[in-house]
Structure 1
């Protein structure tokens, strides 16, 4: 991210919602010139997860990559770009892939795999492009990461990878549970989480059975599990009331109010977009589930403001458009 633009427009998880993305860029004053969306004074930054789930993954990738290659946008890696890389990268022992080919993983990636079925060389080119995406961006004014800012992991990673990008060997090692590489990708791209007590299982809205729940990393003095849960699916009341144990606290982080402005995606928020805290914003508002595709227009403010959010209401605006197009 360079300083030759007057402002930065940070855009949340696209997930193949190319129509919504075009509407959002147009709403913010970007115009498509020679195949690239451009703004006369601003630059975009995508928070990852361009692929999977949505109906127009290829089109979304074309739009975003054209902007990045044309110097009109930056991008960081999301967990879905990482998952696709692992799903299609053979394991070193030759007995499979870095990400298991099971029904759950197949279901999440199916839209992307189907849309690229007739374009294998193009897909391989995008996989190479994913490897060029940094895991995070930090400027003098703000930070951006897909799911969670862990200063300890980032400091060590940056010492070994100053450009913020992984290489092939790092990718291979990241599939080994408990390795440093695993911890980096899990924490930065998936966030903090805790195991449900007593081997309990909750069924999420998308039909997955989960033994973990996503947690906040900005709760200063949480006492109970309900104080740290951060996901659309609520905890059962008896679980939410349980006190946080010392061993569980070790898996929680705290991003303090005096740290830089932080942007993230990943968490499937709902309702009207607003800051989580004065210095933390989540830009994922479930666009692919007919929620909102959201951007924040950052200028020179030092704390987040509600009036700086811009969004496309997918159910109201794009759902109607799909119907008109016979989609």
Structure 2
């Protein structure tokens, strides 16, 4: 069986339908399916786009009828934390709703809230479904995760997970900044960040001063901070071309192909390494929804990418 690994949808149900049609999927009743292939979604179904519930309906029906698999994205994790009361602070939530930080969190999540806030039962039921999504898939043939395949953090979490899924206790622990669980889940769902040398900072796309930089965790050739930084070329110039500390995990060395989303790539889809592919090409910000059609190859090929446009 072939797999079609589909990138971050962010409420773009129209792009999802176009992409599925292009790949040969068809509606049978109210479920999209393919006779010989199976979809795998890399998470981030919600926020940003115009059709939140419609997107979830398509994905959930496919998963329920075993025409698709899916993993948890950072936006689904955030939605769970937004909806879950903090057991240590009754009346407050694991993802804060108060103050400047709360306003920022609400703004990011508002498009989803607009569609569920008048139906609390459905909101609750969707959050419960999010909690059934595994953090990663390690199939016999390939691997899928939302942002970063990090064996050490995965090993630290595995004894606390059930079928790679988070429970309420782990959601709470992973919402406490500086906890071991927070660091692990943050990395798996948002990417690996490393501290810059003392005194070195840069401005991110929102103008915030940053002392850490997100890195190309898959890149075995990245040996310096500048080479490893996931930044536009102009921003990367502010990053020193100094060696990364030896203790920093950089490079995906397994032979098994790994697929992920999250990174808001642009331009023509291309593989990142012979066995590494990102399928997020900014569908939530005007880009196409992208999939990689995997047919069993050990060396990935640019020609296997398909776009909704």
Q: TM-score, normalised by structure 2?
A: 0.92
CA contact (8 A) 1:224 1:240 kept: no
CA contact (8 A) 2:7 2:280 kept: yes
Is residue 2:23 matched to residue 1:23? Answer: no
Is residue 2:36 matched to residue 1:37? Answer: no
In the aligned structure 1, how far is the partner of 2:191 from the partner of 2:293? Answer: 24
What does residue 112 of structure 1 align with?
Answer: 112
In the aligned structure 1, how far is the partner of 2:74 from the partner of 2:145? Answer: 11
For the residue of structure 2 that corresponds to 1:295, the secondary structure is strand
For the residue of structure 2 that corresponds to 1:222, the secondary structure is coil
What does residue 209 of structure 1 align with?
Answer: 208
For the residue of structure 2 that corresponds to 1:281, the secondary structure is strand
The C-alpha deviation readout for 1:190-249, integer Å capped at 9, x for no partner, is: 111134563735141xx4635243211123353432201124575252x22341453xx5
Q: TM-score, normalised by structure 1?
A: 0.87
Q: 1:11 to 1:232 in 2, by over 3 A?
A: farther
Q: 1:242 to 1:175 in 2, by over 3 A?
A: same
Q: 1:164 to 1:233 in 2, by over 3 A?
A: farther
Is residue 2:45 matched to residue 1:68? Answer: no
For the residue of structure 2 that corresponds to 1:284, the secondary structure is coil
> Cα distance, 1:299 vs. partner?
1.1
Aligned length: 302
> Cα distance, 1:24 vs. partner?
0.3
In the aligned structure 2, how far is the partner of 1:225 from the partner of 1:179? Answer: 25
For the residue of structure 1 that corresponds to 2:230, the secondary structure is coil
Root-mean-square deviation (CA), in Å? 1.9
In the aligned structure 1, how far is the partner of 2:234 from the partner of 2:174? Answer: 30
For the residue of structure 1 that corresponds to 2:293, the secondary structure is strand
Q: 1:126 to 1:208 in 2, by over 3 A?
A: farther
For the residue of structure 1 that corresponds to 2:78, the secondary structure is helix
> Cα distance, 1:90 vs. partner?
1.1
In the aligned structure 1, how far is the partner of 2:290 from the partner of 2:185? Answer: 24
In the aligned structure 1, how far is the partner of 2:209 from the partner of 2:282? Answer: 19
> Cα distance, 1:88 vs. partner?
1.6
CA contact (8 A) 2:8 2:44 kept: yes
What does residue 257 of structure 2 align with?
Answer: 261
Is residue 2:275 matched to residue 1:279? Answer: yes
In the aligned structure 2, how far is the partner of 1:103 from the partner of 1:236? Answer: 30
In the aligned structure 2, how far is the partner of 1:299 from the partner of 1:99? Answer: 40
Q: 1:265 to 1:245 in 2, by over 3 A?
A: closer
Higher mean Cα deviation, 195-204 or 78-87?
Answer: 195-204
> Cα distance, 1:40 vs. partner?
0.9
CA contact (8 A) 2:5 2:292 kept: yes
In the aligned structure 1, how far is the partner of 2:248 from the partner of 2:91? Answer: 32
In the aligned structure 2, how far is the partner of 1:195 from the partner of 1:286? Answer: 26
> Cα distance, 1:42 vs. partner?
0.9
In the aligned structure 2, how far is the partner of 1:231 from the partner of 1:203? Answer: 9
Work out which of the residue numbers 287, 301, 308 in structure 2 matches 1:305.
301
What does residue 324 of structure 1 align with?
Answer: none
What does residue 153 of structure 2 align with?
Answer: 153
Work out which of the residue numbers 291, 294, 304 in structure 1 matches 2:290.
294
In the aligned structure 1, how far is the partner of 2:279 from the partner of 2:303? Answer: 14
Structure 1 consecutive aligned stretches of length 4 or more whose deviation exceeds 6 Å: none
In the aligned structure 1, how far is the partner of 2:303 from the partner of 2:79? Answer: 35
Q: 1:73 to 1:208 in 2, by over 3 A?
A: farther
